[in-house]
Amino acid sequence: MIRLARPQIGQEEIKEVSKVLGSGFLVQGKNVEKFETKVAEYLKVKYAIAVSSGTAALHLSLMALGIKEGDEVILPDFTFPATGNVVALVGAKPILVDIDLKTYNIDPTKIEENITPQTKAVIPVHEFGQAADIDSILAIAGKYDLSTIEDAACALGAESKGRKCGTLGDIGCFSFHPRKAITTGEGGMVVTNSKQLAEKARALRNHGMAIKEGRNSFEYAGFNYRMTDFQGAMGWIQIKKLDEIIEKRRALASSYNALLKDLKEIQTPFEKAGNKHIYQSYVVLLNKQIKRDNIIRKLRERGIETTIGTYCLHCQPFYRKNYSYRDGQFKNSSTAFKQSLCLPLHIKLKPVDARKVKDLLLKTICMGM
């Protein structure tokens, strides 16, 4: 089986994790602090707060910004549901916007028409490791005094005009799920240059607790979103390898591009000028005549693991029921949801594997059309 994704975990990570397990000090501690420091240094931000997942990072960001019931938050329709779910969890209303079908990112030209007096924030998602049009989004946010939360779950190391994704808005959020470039199993990170937001996020992740006059003081109704110390140990080892991992992923993506470029049935990933795409996922778009789900099933039968790109939220029962969205409301997102196909990409993938994926994909498409 050629797997969709495989994390790179070496002996150094195993050794450091074993040390933590042997120490008996397992909850958030010095290894988490070291991981936070290394992430902040890598991104050149002032503050990094490690948490239990990328979803937790998004949730804490909204809480830190004071987003609440009655507020509205704009986000792309084509994204993993966590992006919208956290908005609902704080009582706000997710306002969905269609995407640019070339980049799979939110279409900035459709944002302003969705802004109301209740709009308080926008969440651009750097989908699949490609930077969203962040300059346009920040200009709109500035015009209407909106907060910006970058969902950079897939984009640690991705760049827009030489600037790291996740560092350009008010807050950036990252994930360390095993499908990401580096992993801590589960885990996430909130980053910001605002001392006030960092302090609130740090307190909220740990039951709302802050240190006042040398004593614990519970300032908020917070959560237990802490990262374990063995995850932190794994994280600070992993981030040392990040740039090398990204370059290998980009090289594999280039190989795929060369193999697939002449197939008229497939749109290969687009890398916008000025961006550095890290290819957390290598997602192609199949012609509408092709039944994508059949392709996934047939490739699995032939030993190739693939999956959909991600979800269009307006098609999901929760969003239809609670916000009156209807199927097909967002044309580009609907197309991407139905026709996008994520191919295997990880640094253990060999060129011969990529060629096999291409050959079997073409064969499967030809048989199915």
Active site residues: 180
Q: Which amino acid is at 2?
A: I
Alpha-helical segments (H) within 44-163: 54-64, 82-89, 134-144
Please give the Cα distance from 365 to 368 (Å, whole number). 5
Q: Which amino acid is at 369?
A: M
DSSP letters for 205-260: TBTTEEEETTEEEE-S---B-PPPHHHHHHHHHHGGGHHHHHHHHHHHHHHHHHHH
Please give the Cα distance from 20 to 233 (Å, whole number). 8
Helix (H, G, I), strand (E, B) or coil at 131: coil
**Is 146 exposed, middle or buried, given 0-12, 13-18 or 19+ CB atoms closer than 10 A?**
buried
Q: What secondary structure letter does DSSP report for 315?
A: G
Q: Which two tokens stand for residue 319?
A: 């969003």
**Is 310 exposed, middle or buried, given 0-12, 13-18 or 19+ CB atoms closer than 10 A?**
buried
Instruction: Dihedral sign for Cα 175, 181, 184, 190, please.
Output: negative
Q: Which amino acid is at 282?
A: Y
Q: Which two tokens stand for residue 2?
A: 């050629």
